[in-house]
Chain A
Amino acid sequence: MEPIKTFSGKVVSLPINDIDTDQIIPARYLKVTDKAGLGAACFSDWRYEADGSPKADFPLNKPEHQGASILIGGHNFGCGSSREHAPWALVGAGFKAVISTYFADIFRNNALKNGLLPVVVDQETHRQLISLAEEDPTTTVTVDLASQTVILPDGRAVSFPIDGFSKHCLLNGVDQLGFLLGLGDKTAEYEADHPARVNTL
């Protein structure tokens, strides 16, 4: 994975609570065997009319929000299904970070493995960001992973939490599977001490 350090981008807001992964990418798009190409289907049912034409009033379709790379979502973003297709679709749609007050567990884990930063901010900052995005669509914020801060247009830096290991992996492009495979001997020791109780073969 490419290391992530700092990036700036235009924001677009979708201030709806409990956005589930079925909305981010509906199940009928899950019959693929590849990660690529899901961007066009991101938020499909909210984004398109029945005839496939874009809904003019959906924030992601508005001309002024084109090119936005930071999504401001409502509380408990990414709840529901464990489908990693959700972060694949968001990344495919050009997003590098989602800012919310709260993320569902599995979504957050999946996002971190795909270089999509789940950024948790306090309610006041969240409200401010939503207003900024709606008032001025050119609003740009900077996300700096090393200092764990979001830098708002007024220069205010707001810190966000991230676990140390995920941060280390993102900053250095560390491959988590490589790390686990490196523990192969310890895993073998564990297996020797804990004989299997089931055999599927």
Chain B
Amino acid sequence: MTPKTLFEKVWENHLVQPQTDDLPAVLYIDLHLVHEVTSPQAFTELRQRGLKVRRPDRTLATMDHSTPTTPRGLDGLIPVTDSQAAAQLDVMRKNCADFGIPLFDLGTTNQGIVHVIGPEQGLTQPGMTIVCGDSHTSTHGAFGALAFGIGTSEVGHVLASQTLLQNKPKTMAVTVNGRLENGVTAKDIILAIIAKIGVGGGTGYVFEYRGEAIRALSMEGRMTICNMSIEGGARAGMIAPDETTFEYIKGRPRAPQGEDWDRAVAYWRTLPSDEGAVYDHEIVLNANELVPMITYGTNPGMGMPITATVPDPERAEDASSRMALEKALRYMDLQPNQPLLGKPVNVVFIGSCTNSRIGDLREAAKMLRGRHVAEGVRVMVVPGSQNVKRQAEAEGLDKVFRDAGAEWREAGCSMCIAMNGDQLQPGEYAVSTSNRNFEGRQGKGGRTFLVSPLTAAATAIRGVVTDPREFMREMEYA
């Protein structure tokens, strides 16, 4: 038999109808995650056509994007003061009630960022197809699922038919050899990959991350990497399931139990790419050479080692890259050849579907424990879900953050998307663990440096962009 990649195995196992010269493949979708921002128009379409949701049992809704993360009121509820957001949330409630879809409503036990709750519940499993009207759906690929973002029309297609029309993407092996130095994290790996290939470098591909450095990562680190596949242009990124994967899933509320578990694991073990499987393209990185990364520009491809200096447009490869870099530096108000270490920031944001899981918060808390954030810097810590929040509080992390002078908030997308009240003011600089540094992404006129949770915590303490390895040495941090 021809050796197959992980992607090919999952793809072929979900074909309702294979691709032909005239027609894209019809792909069956195992799990459809839904949130309030990209679904209302799809439900409207279903209503207008008198359609039902084909498989509400394979659909799950949450609220995350337009939800405030401000503390609960005396009634225990999270107040929604933005009337437009409140109306959108009400529409989500009505749609879920009318169509029989389970909903993790604002502030309830399991609510959280859509890409945090799937894995947390054990719904995200190897070999599945998972979609959501959200480009960071690629996160779930960390489990060896084929997971990708779709538009609202396609949300309607999946709601009504549980299938999607898809042209088969190409495959790219992203091999990361070697081992990470202390203070260098999964976030730095993915920022380095995107800096290498650019924001369009993966368009048309599904990435498969592999190699020693990927194998050594926790599931949370793997999710951070797969999450940002789309920032390199790839709709999906996948990592072959292994013992780390099974260990993470086992015992979660929606994970298979008993004999079902054994059957599931036996199947999952068949998924990794076969020896000799062929990829359309491969890139290779050496983890030993990586240092903490930071972005300087207005897309995630504009990233560099934190110890480097801002690139000079004069040295750009061609006219259009020079223009793009000049435009970015103008927006960021940075000079060519300037170092970013020591650059004062106004806000530090620790959160988002990239870096808001318990492991991320533990890392940040280790560094902030017994220290205080710099005067005049606003530090926001936003857990990815209510479960993450409770876990962090059980471990006393909330107290570490509060004692350090950081804000401990309710779960949601928060300042990653700035449509929920959490946003930068024009001209402000943020160091952020989120995934996008586009112009205005964190608030109109706001300027974003993307970094790891460790770099964010180190920067919070100093108030200026700081290499976390300074603290690592100081703390003999293991």
Contacts and interface: CB of A to CB of B under 8 A. Distances in A.
Interface of A: 15-18, 20, 22-23, 26-28, 30-35, 45, 50, 74-76, 79-84, 102, 104-106, 109-110, 113-114, 163-165, 168, 176-177, 179-181, 183-184, 186-187, 190-191, 194, 196-201
26 contacts: A18-B199, A20-B436, A23-B440, A28-B419, A30-B65, A30-B419, A35-B41, A45-B444, A80-B436, A81-B436, A82-B133, A82-B150, A105-B203, A106-B235, A164-B22, A168-B22, A176-B153, A177-B45, A177-B161, A181-B51, A196-B58, A198-B30, A198-B123, A199-B57, A200-B31, A201-B56
Interface string B9-28: 00001001100011110101
Interface stretch (B84-92, B364-372, B374-382, B452-460): B84-92
B154 A109 contact: yes
Interface in B184-239: 199-200, 203-204, 230-231, 233, 235
A23 B444 CA distance: 10
Contacts of A23: 438-440
Contacts of B264: 197
B233 A79 contact: yes
A105 B233 contact: yes
B323 interface: yes
Nearest to B436: A80
B338 interface: no
B178 interface: no
Contacts of A197: 30, 125, 128, 256, 264
Given A31-B84, A200-B57, A181 B161 contact: yes
Given A31-B88, A102-B203, A200 B157 contact: no
B135 A163 contact: no
B274 to A, nearest CB: 22
A51 to B, nearest CB: 12
Contacts of B235: 105-106
Nearest to A30: B37
Q: B60, B162, B327 — which one has the most chain A CB atoms within 10 A of its CB?
A: B162
A194 B135 CA distance: 27
B322 to A, nearest CB: 10
A186 B49 CA distance: 21
A195 B453 CA distance: 40
B340 to A, nearest CB: 21
Contacts of A113: 151, 153-154
A18 B300 CA distance: 11
A22 B436 contact: yes
B97 to A, nearest CB: 13
B182 interface: no
Contacts of A35: 41
A187 B30 contact: no
Contacts of A190: 16, 28
B334 interface: no
A198 B199 contact: no
Interface of B: 13, 16-17, 21-24, 26, 28, 30-31, 37-38, 40-41, 44-45, 49, 51, 54-60, 65-66, 82, 84-85, 87-88, 91, 100-102, 123, 125, 128, 133-135, 149-154, 156-157, 160-165, 167, 199-200, 203-204, 230-231, 233, 235, 254, 256, 264, 299, 301, 320-321, 323-324, 327, 417-419, 426, 436, 438-441, 444-445
A45 to B, nearest CB: 5
B123 A200 contact: yes
Contacts of A76: 199-200, 203, 233
Contacts of A105: 203-204, 233, 235
Contacts of A30: 37, 65-66, 419
Contacts of B91: 33
Contacts of A18: 199-200, 299, 301, 324
Nearest to B85: A31
Contacts of A181: 51, 160-161
Contact of B440 (A22, A104, A114, A180): A22
Contact of A33 (B21, B28, B88): B88
Task: Please name the 4 residue pairs, one residue from A and one from B, whose CB atoms are nearest each other, closest first.
Answer: A33-B40, A76-B200, A110-B151, A84-B151
A79 B200 contact: yes
A53 B286 CA distance: 50
A26 B154 CA distance: 21
Contacts of A45: 439-440, 444-445
Given A32-B40, A33-B87, A75-B320, 19 more contacts: A17-B323, A18-B324, A20-B438, A30-B419, A34-B44, A45-B444, A75-B200, A76-B199, A79-B233, A82-B38, A84-B151, A104-B233, A109-B151, A186-B26, A187-B54, A190-B16, A194-B13, A198-B30, A201-B102
